[in-house]
Amino acid sequence: MRNPLSDVIVNIEPSGIRKFFDIVSEMKDAISLGVGEPDFDTPWHIREEGIYSLEKGRTFYTSNAGLKELRTEIANYLKRRCNLTYDPDKELVVTVGGSEAIDIALRAMVNPGDEVLIPQPSFVSYLPCTVLAGGRPVVIELEEKDQFRLTAEKLREKITDKTKILIMPFPNNPTGAVMRREDLEAVAEVIQEHDLFVLSDEIYCELTFGSERHVSIASLPGMQERTVLINGFSKSYAMTGWRLGYAAAPHIIQEQMLKIHQFAIMCAPTTSQYAAISAVRDGDSDVEMMRESYDQRRRYVLHAFKEMGLDCFEPNGAFYAFPSIKRFGMTSDEFATRFLHEEKVAVVPGTAFGVCGEGFLRVSYAYSLKNLKEALGRMERFVRRLDGKA
């Protein structure tokens, strides 16, 4: 029999998270700091809209781009939240999660051999999606000394005449880094100078802490026309399982993304779309409540790290902390594996998000205080043992 498989996909490494997941799932009574999703249930008014839509028998396809009412509410949201104006009919696509938006944006923009700049540590999909789209991923290694922000210098270093797209994964999973306005301005200058496009993954945009709220790179002068803004409902409204996201892009790009979406997906799940209308229209107070709760737990986790002598820069976004374990002379993988076996707590090795995540762990604080307390208590015990103090 002939080889049934595509070389392209076979040559893509499975996600590092998957590998660790397999180990964790064999441990029966492990507790976890490893999830990448909110611990809240979807607010009831949103779930209720989903239920109503089913009761009313709204179980058909929607238009490819998504329900008009939802697109209109998304446009309203982007206006009130980011001061961005998008035409709901020509510049928005409702997708199956932010993940689909990443995939179709890259497929709509990448020509064979085009280079796509991917700052890492970052979400696991950018690199494989680039490869699947026929592009060449070029990693920019972010550093703790820059608070894991992308600097203009680091960007310049990797630009060649083949560079076409820069991925902007902020607020960042796994580091919790955010880009402030002045950081974005410095980067935007380089982008315009080299005529690049930006795929800005702003799925965690509602989860920033401290006085500054998230700034979208698309809102900087001259940037909206060269930015595909990706967002979704998973993190802001605790709707991960609904699989619903969207992309906002200049019509020339949106049109082609919509084509891929139309042929590969048809439309995002109808029930989820009806529920999402309620989320984006009436969910601001839910978002605020959850944000405050994450912020409290963020302080709690950082405080615990400090007490146990674990270095960690202050994350100002998402719901992750990214402590350094370099002083223990172990790899992230070794640390995470030993921690799991000895204390039965799952954390994700930083290397799951890129080679430069070596020496770090991703610790999610989307857990109840009770769970955090228990898990961090075990972490302290483990660290003390490593330090020879126990």
Partner 1 sequence: MREKILAVMEKNSRIDIKDLAVLLGESEVAVANEIADMEKEHVICGYHTLINWDNTSDEKVVALIEVKVTPQRGMGFDKIAERIYQYSEVNAVYLMSGAYDFTVFIEGKTMRQVAQFVSEKLSTLDSVLSTATHFVLKKYKDHGTILVQEVQDERMLITP
Residue 88 or 176: the one with the smaller Cβ distance to partner 1 is 176
**Contact indicator for 365, 320 with CB cutoff of 8 Å:** yes
DSSP string over 172-234: PTTT-----HHHHHHHHHHHHHTT-EEEEE-TTTT-B-SSPPP--GGGSTTTGGGEEEEEEST
Q: How far is the CB of 36 from partner 1 (least distance, A)?
A: 4
Assigned token pair, 92: 């928005």
- Smallest separation (angstroms) from partner 1 to the CB of 312: 15
Alpha-carbon distance 256 to 259, whole Å?
5
Which residue's CB is nearer to partner 1, number 24 or number 177?
24
- Are 87 and 81 a contacting pair, CB within 8 Å? no
Q: Please give the residue ranges that form the binding site for partner 1 (CB under 8 A).
A: 15, 17, 20-21, 24-25, 30, 32, 34-37, 39, 123-125, 173, 292, 296-297, 299-300, 303, 346, 348, 352, 367, 369, 371, 373
In this structure, are residues 148 and 179 in contact, taking their beta carbons and an 8 Å threshold? no
Provide, rounded to whole angstroms, the least separation between the CB of residue 307 and partner 1: 10
Three-class SS state of 267: coil
Q: How far is the CB of 296 from partner 1 (least distance, A)?
A: 4
Nearer to partner 1, 51 or 186 (CB): 51
Shorter beta-carbon distance to partner 1: residue 352 or 383: 352
* Nearest-approach distance from CB 211 to partner 1, in angstroms: 13
Please report how close the Cβ of residue 366 comes to partner 1 at its closest, in angstroms: 9
CB 358 within 8 A of CB 350: yes
β-pairing verdict for 361-364 and 320-321: antiparallel
